[in-house]
A = this chain, B = another copy of it.
Amino acid sequence: MKRSKIKVGIIGANGYAGAEVLWLTANHPHVELTAVTSRAHKGKRVADVFPALPCDLVYTDADDKALANCDIVFVALPQTAGAEIVGRLIDAGVRVIDLSADYRFDDVAVYERTYSVKHPRPDLCDIAVYGLCEQNRDAIRTAKLVANPGCYVTSVLLPMLPLCKAGLATDIIADSKSGVSGAGRKSDEAYGFCALDENFKAYGIFGHRHAPEMSEKLGAPIIFTPHLLPVKRGILSTIYFNTPDPAEAKRVLENAYPDEPFAAYGQELPELSFVAHTNRCIFSARFSDGRGIVVSVLDNLLKGAAGQAVQNMNIMAGLNETAGLPLYAPV
């Protein structure tokens, strides 16, 4: 039986994450791209912006009526900019995968404090499902609104959630390092080649917006320090914690994702190159004297954003979860 394709829209397809969703879905065997919006490119043909992309659409804007005919719409707008658009789509009966932080929090007050805004649609926070695929698969299947997790957050939650649920980790510190695409598309000297090549820095100490998202999902406080790596893609998190039972903690980590294509424990300490251009998160752990250290890596634009979003789409649409998701990672 030949299955019909699902109709997909993308709002905000010019940002790095949105463009990555565009590439993935345009090459996806079970997707019919139906509407692609971008204020920067409105009126241009997608094929003129990306000549290699097999797509006949013209960029429109978020008012595009075709969005209402989609089965699923990806919303890849900056934090708070898309919250109302998401609401209108949901109201119109369209399922949405939101790549922003707007619907990630169970506690709206934490969201409002973290992003210094009033949430326009707190009513939808209750129906939103947190799209960490390997942990929430059942809820995602039938979700109307999936809140796609943050990139740093995914690198921390996949290894640490199983430990925290088992009461095996306290005093957690996540020292995370991200590639430059994590900051989004920027016209800013601070993100220029001359500013960043051969450079490295910490930022947002004790104040980054991903820390409250981690804490809420882990159910535990966490110290989180992000750093900016001179690479285009990838996140590596070095996670320190105390554990009452190192042997059991190791066992839990090794058995956390036995059959998952996109999450895996590895004996070897993982490097960015193990996962660049793939949708995988790989982690390993070392223990000594009641202290544990987990090293976790993923591609911030794939498993950390667009890849996980498409994985969520596959789950929502009842497709093979790996459909259209690259596992390509040579040199």
Known contacts A185-B189, A194-B181; is-contact A236 B202 (Cβ 8 Å): yes
- Residue of B with least CB distance to A178: B200
Report yes or no: A286 in contact with B205, Cβ–Cβ below 8 A: yes
Interface residues of A in 178-236 (CB under 8 A from B): 179-181, 185-189, 191-203, 205-206, 223, 225, 227, 229-234, 236
Binding site for B on A (CB under 8 A): 16, 19-20, 23, 27, 50-54, 173, 175, 177, 179-181, 185-189, 191-203, 205-206, 223, 225, 227, 229-234, 236, 238, 240, 264, 266, 269-278, 280, 282, 286, 288, 291, 293, 295, 301, 326-331
A231 contacts across to B, CB distance below 8 A: 197-200, 230
CB distance from A215 to the nearest CB of B (A): 13
A50 to B330, CA, bound (A): 9
A286 contacts across to B, CB distance below 8 A: 205-206
Known contacts A181-B331, A188-B187, A278-B52; is-contact A199 B293 (Cβ 8 Å): no
CB distance from A317 to the nearest CB of B (A): 20
CB distance from A229 to the nearest CB of B (A): 6
CB distance from A249 to the nearest CB of B (A): 14
**Can you report 6 A-B residue pairs in the complex whose CB atoms are below 8 A from each other?**
A195-B273, A197-B230, A198-B272, A202-B269, A223-B291, A223-B293
A280 to B50, CA, bound (A): 13
- Residue of B with least CB distance to A329: B52
A195 contacts across to B, CB distance below 8 A: 193, 273
Report yes or no: B229 in contact with A331, Cβ–Cβ below 8 A: no
Report yes or no: B52 in contact with A274, Cβ–Cβ below 8 A: yes
Q: Which are the 10 A-B pairs with shortest beta-carbon distances?
A: A201-B271, A175-B175, A193-B196, A199-B273, A206-B288, A205-B286, A187-B189, A180-B193, A198-B231, A200-B272
